[in-house]
Amino acid sequence: MKKDLISNDIQLSPEGKLVHLLGLEGLSKKHLTHILNIADGLIDDAGNLKKSKALDDMSVANLFFEPSTRTRNTFEIAGKRTSANIINVDLANSATKKNESLLDTMHTLKAMQIDMFVIRHNQSGLPHHVAENLQGVAILNAGDGINAHPTQALLDMLTIRQHKQSFEDLSVAIIGDIVHSRVAHSDIQALKTLGTKDIRLIAPTGLQYDSEQCASVKCMDDIQAGLKDCDVVMVLRLQKERMLEADIPNEQEYFDSYGLTAERLALAKPDALVMHPGPINRGVEIDSSIADGDQSVILQQVTNGIAVRMAVMEILAGKS
């Protein structure tokens, strides 16, 4: 599966201000650092999330056309913590089931004075299409097909920044189903923008990028070599919902060859972070003892998702 090039051009105003968040391509180090700094400022010294009144005059709609636990709920919590009026649109019982087009549904919700839409969809580029056709609202991409998951990458960068001195000197290994992963795509973009030079993508043939996409990163199939002395290990699940039946690997064989175990993690630096965007499949891409181990920051990633999503909403509202 090859990723189409989807332009994020319309997410910046002519003055370079963020008006939608569609993807991380096109955003500068200054943009990313600003979002991370605002998110940092929303966490107090004890690690607790603060509240703000930034969106107290705004309404936000969550539209999730794909299942989600982390992203949907942390957007809802982030909306509430910034004092927005936030609704989860019940798509299973909406007029889209009576053949209303997505854009007509969106125009209808906009007429209810919604200011911001958070959209997850299995179609790459769908949030971009909405942003092009619905004026006067902000669109936040909460994951589109295999294309992008920008807030996931931003919360991943915030988590790394809380533990490591600089992005420049890091060796980051991303293991697993790279080719179907919008998270990998956005993480690679964020790491490159923030200056990381050693990005290793570890996957079997079939789940790896093609040679063109591998040109600016290190694509490897040898997990031992890929993990050697790295600072951050990001593990991805097998995204079966985006595979053909024939492509789905045998889970036991996959774990035997590419699962993150204690023995394999020992090849990385002793203080290497173990990250996973979730949902995790224990015993498939990661051993349970590693998911729950001392090096795991998986649940910290979840909490950071609230701060990052609050920050992005405040910025799009012009309040930060």
R_g over Cα of the chain? 19
Residues that bind ligand CP (CB under 6 A): 68-71, 143, 152, 277-279
Min separation Cβ 72 and ligand CP, Å: 6
Min separation Cβ 92 and ligand CP, Å: 17
Nearer Cβ to ligand CP, position 68 or 162? Answer: 68
Nearer Cβ to ligand CP, position 220 or 235? Answer: 235
**Token pair for residue 195?**
């200056």
Nearer Cβ to ligand CP, position 145 or 277? Answer: 277
Min separation Cβ 279 and ligand CP, Å: 6
Nearer Cβ to ligand CP, position 69 or 166? Answer: 69
Min separation Cβ 276 and ligand CP, Å: 9
CA dihedral 108, 109, 114, 116 (to 10 degrees): -110
Q: Of the candidates 294, 290, 309, 272, which has an alpha carbon nearest to the alpha carbon of residue 163?
A: 272
CB-based contact 192:166 (threshold 8 Å): no
Nearer Cβ to ligand CP, position 54 or 311? Answer: 311
Min separation Cβ 308 and ligand CP, Å: 12
Nearer Cβ to ligand CP, position 272 or 298? Answer: 298
Min separation Cβ 39 and ligand CP, Å: 16
Task: Give long-range contacts, CB 8 A cutoff, 24+ apart: 73-81.
Answer: 74/302, 74/305, 74/306, 74/309, 75/118, 75/140, 75/142, 75/151, 75/309, 77/306, 78/305, 78/306, 78/307, 78/309, 78/310, 78/313, 79/55, 79/313, 81/49, 81/50, 81/51, 81/52, 81/306, 81/310
**Token pair for residue 36?**
């991370």
Residue 214 backbone zone (phi > 0: left; psi -120 to 50: alpha; other: beta) = alpha
